[in-house]
Structure 1
């Protein structure tokens, strides 16, 4: 398995892969000043043939851009301490960190990040390139659009629909539907500009 991106997010994925006994063949990064991360070689990506790859970059828009440029097979990484329902579906390139719970009939898109101790309850649907931050809780039947970032400790009540490329602030409590490209913070969540 190769990783594209050699910073903090990659460190977490490296440790997941090590826990799973998956061989890490190397890392790619556009920053030529980085040549090693946690003992693994880092080099620029030059259209190399790779067996499998995970984009190990936390920024949703950058993950999408890189995924659009590469023609490779994408792998996944699920920490062994997760609780993932056998009735859930998870797309290629997605990573699930330690302590996560994903319940029945959840659909998670490609290249998503479900971060440490997050909870994704029954019947949730997450689009591609979504990031659910640590300790966030998605109650049942929540839909999250492509590229949206749910902040640490945020709570989304049941049945809520959040559009594409939104940002939900840390600790926000979302009690109403949110259209595309919005930023919400607070309890209850209120829209902010910018």
Structure 2
């Protein structure tokens, strides 16, 4: 397995892969100062010829950056699910996606490409997460929630059942979302209110 991005998020993905007995052989990163991460060599900018048959995970938490990088990757994408995560057998996990320690993903949920379900997050039944969504630590998505592409649900937030969160949204940490959120909105509070739109 290869990673792209040598940061704290990469450390967590390394931990997941090690817990599954998978070895990371190298990490790409655009910062020339980075040489080593948790004993794994950081070998510089992306090289499609380096271990071309190895799967790769983009180990960067920022949705927009992950999306930008994904366009240029020629390797196949892997996935990573920590063994302490509870993921129903009837869950679809898209390529490049990761499910962190202690997360719960319930029956009927579909995750797009390059999705992050972070530490201790709960995604209940029949949720649909678009590509490049990040469900931050401690989030609760109740049943049948739909989240559009490139949206961040901030740490500790709660989204009530049957709601739609649009694409390119930011749900601020600790928010309680009780109504649908349009594309490009930033919301905050309890109950969450729109504070900005793009």
What is the TM-score of this pair, normalised by structure 2? 0.96
Q: 1:120 aligns with which of 115, 118, 123?
A: 123
Query: Could you report, residue by residue, the CA deviation over 1:1-56 in whole angstroms, capped at 9, with x for unpaired residues?
Result: 00000000000000111111101111000001001001100012222224110000
Where does residue 150 of structure 1 map in the other structure? 153
Where does residue 40 of structure 2 map in the other structure? 40
Query: Could you report, residue by residue, the CA deviation over 1:72-96 in whole angstroms, capped at 9, with x for unpaired residues?
Result: 1100000000100001101010000
- 2 CA distance for matches of 1:20 and 1:70? 24
Q: Indicate the SS of the match to 1:13.
A: helix
- 2 CA distance for matches of 1:139 and 1:93? 24
- 2 CA distance for matches of 1:127 and 1:143? 8
Give the root-mean-square deviation of aligned CA atoms: 0.8
- 1 CA distance for matches of 2:166 and 2:53? 34
Extract structure 1 runs of 4+ deviating beyond 6 A. none
Where does residue 181 of structure 2 map in the other structure? 178
Q: Indicate the SS of the match to 2:71.
A: helix
Q: 2:59 aligns with which of 51, 56, 61?
A: 56
Q: Indicate the SS of the match to 2:42.
A: strand
The count of residues paired between Structure 1 and Structure 2 equals: 194
| Structure 1: segments with no counterpart, 5+ residues | none
- 1 CA distance for matches of 2:107 and 2:40? 36
Q: 1:137 aligns with which of 116, 140, 143?
A: 140
